[in-house]
Amino acid sequence: MSARIDVLTPEQCARMPSWADEWIARGLSCEPADREAWERGARACYAHAGIEWPGVVVWVGSPLVMALAAPIAAHLLRGGDDVVADVVAGAVDDVVGGAVRDAVSGAVIDAVADVVGGAVSDAVIDAVSGAVSGAVRDAVIDAVSGAVSGAVSGAVRDAVRDAVIDAVSGAVSGAVRQGWPRYLGGAWWLGWQAYESFFRDVCGLQLPTDQRAADYALAQQSAGWWWPHTRFVIACERPLEIHREQVRPRGWGSHQLHRADGPSIRFRDGWALYHWHGVQVPAEWILRPQDIDPAVVLREPNVERRTAGCQILGWGRILGALPHRVIDHDADPQYGDLLSVDLPNASDTHFLRAWCPAHQDWIVLGVPQDCTTAREAAARTYRRTAETYHPQRRT
């Protein structure tokens, strides 16, 4: 065992890719949660943070249920009926939001993060040289985070946020919206655990925080999201299936959710998300593409979702179904085609279909009605003129 590491051996360097793969497999596991292992780790985390274990664990089938149930439960345990009366009187932010912050942020989550995660992080930083730390970070943390956190956790987080915003209103909306982001990411936040354990288990680094690190890693890798509270803990099962595609070499942004014929990620309670090359789309776009109205796709305000819909349908089908005319065609695909498409119950709408080198695919952009050339339309999406816009230098 060693108290400090300033250089890695060739054997240790060679071990980094396979070590990352082992932790990626844990992060993407679709096996049922190991509830017993998770509770051992979570109990220990409470103990390290100096907080009494609440003794009440509620298991849910998806992050969406956790995001709605956890803050509502916290809100009700703090005298929800009285708070609701005040909310109705106009004190949503001050009363409900404050109650959630008091009950959740300071009491448990920050304590676990600071006392358990923060202490381990500081110990590793102090015991490992900068060059070694950077090499392992690039080969292990970035590989695990890119394959798991970047591809899955962020997409689920964004979907939950949008669903929460759409689903809650009235008296409990402040509680839910304030409280749901305060969670621990479980198996989808294993980049740091992979990094720390590499030094401990592969390099033989001995840290004063080894037990904290091991306990936290046990909880994180054994289940999905979890939401600790002083009176209860809500833990989420792992998903039933995850479908990704690799779009870049190992590292951050290496993978994204994608499936052409079903859900990209599906949970045990039936909640599912659908992604087309990393873009969340409505379920029917994937399950029943033959029923998609091309006009609905072109009216989609989000450019990434609109582009995804055009790719799913095929540009030929869209133009075959809707009256249109080509205003201008440019030989350079990065300028593409400027078209006017007649959408039902709408005035003529202009679209630019151009090649995006960054995504290595065609994108469809809505452009101002007064554009007369593809070059002008492409330039105006960057608030430039046709004379000053050069795609190869636009970044």
Q: State mean pLDDT over 276-297.
A: 94
Would 201 be classed as within a structural domain? yes
Same-domain check for residues 212 and 126: yes
Q: State mean pLDDT over 191-199.
A: 85
Confidence (pTM): 0.81
Give the torsion sign (CA, 7, 9, 15, 17).
positive
Would 251 be classed as within a structural domain? no
Note the pLDDT of residue 155: 92
At 107, the pLDDT band (50, 70, 90 cuts) reads: very low
pLDDT digits (tens, 9 = 90+) for 226-267: 988 888 888 999 999 999 999 888 888 899 999 999 999 999
Q: Which of 362, 256, 374, 243 is nearest to 313 (CA)?
A: 362
Whole-number percent of the chain with pLDDT over 90: 35
Q: How many CB atoms lie within 10 A of CB 305?
A: 17
Same-domain check for residues 85 and 162: yes
Asked whether the beta carbons of 375 and 391 are under 8 A apart, the reply is: no
Mean pLDDT of the chain: 81
Radius of gyration over every alpha carbon of the chain, rounded to an integer in angstroms:
25
Would 100 be classed as within a structural domain? yes
Note the pLDDT of residue 117: 57
Would 3 be classed as within a structural domain? no
For residues 103 and 204, which has the higher predicted lDDT (pLDDT)?
A: 204
The DSSP bridge pattern shows strands 233-236 and 57-60 to be: parallel
Would 231 be classed as within a structural domain? yes
Would 255 be classed as within a structural domain? no
Same-domain check for residues 115 and 227: yes
Note the pLDDT of residue 200: 84
Residue numbers of the domain that contains 176: 10-246
Tally of domains within the chain: 2
Asked whether the beta carbons of 257 and 273 are under 8 A apart, the reply is: yes
What's the rounded Cα separation, in Å, for the pair 32 and 239?
8
Same-domain check for residues 30 and 109: yes
User: Any idea how long the chain is?
Assistant: 395
Same-domain check for residues 225 and 302: no
Same-domain check for residues 228 and 300: no
Same-domain check for residues 201 and 292: no
Same-domain check for residues 83 and 166: yes
Note the pLDDT of residue 84: 30
Q: Which of 265, 239, 264, 244 is nearest to 256 (CA)?
A: 244
Note the pLDDT of residue 284: 97
Q: Which range has the top average pLDDT, 65-79, 94-108, 232-246?
A: 232-246
Same-domain check for residues 219 and 307: no
Question: Given a cut of 80, is residue 11 above it in pLDDT?
Answer: yes
Q: Which of 178, 158, 389 is nearest to 278 (CA)?
A: 158
Q: State mean pLDDT over 357-363.
A: 80
Same-domain check for residues 227 and 159: yes
Same-domain check for residues 109 and 184: yes
Would 187 be classed as within a structural domain? yes
Would 36 be classed as within a structural domain? yes
For residues 130 and 278, which has the higher predicted lDDT (pLDDT)?
A: 278
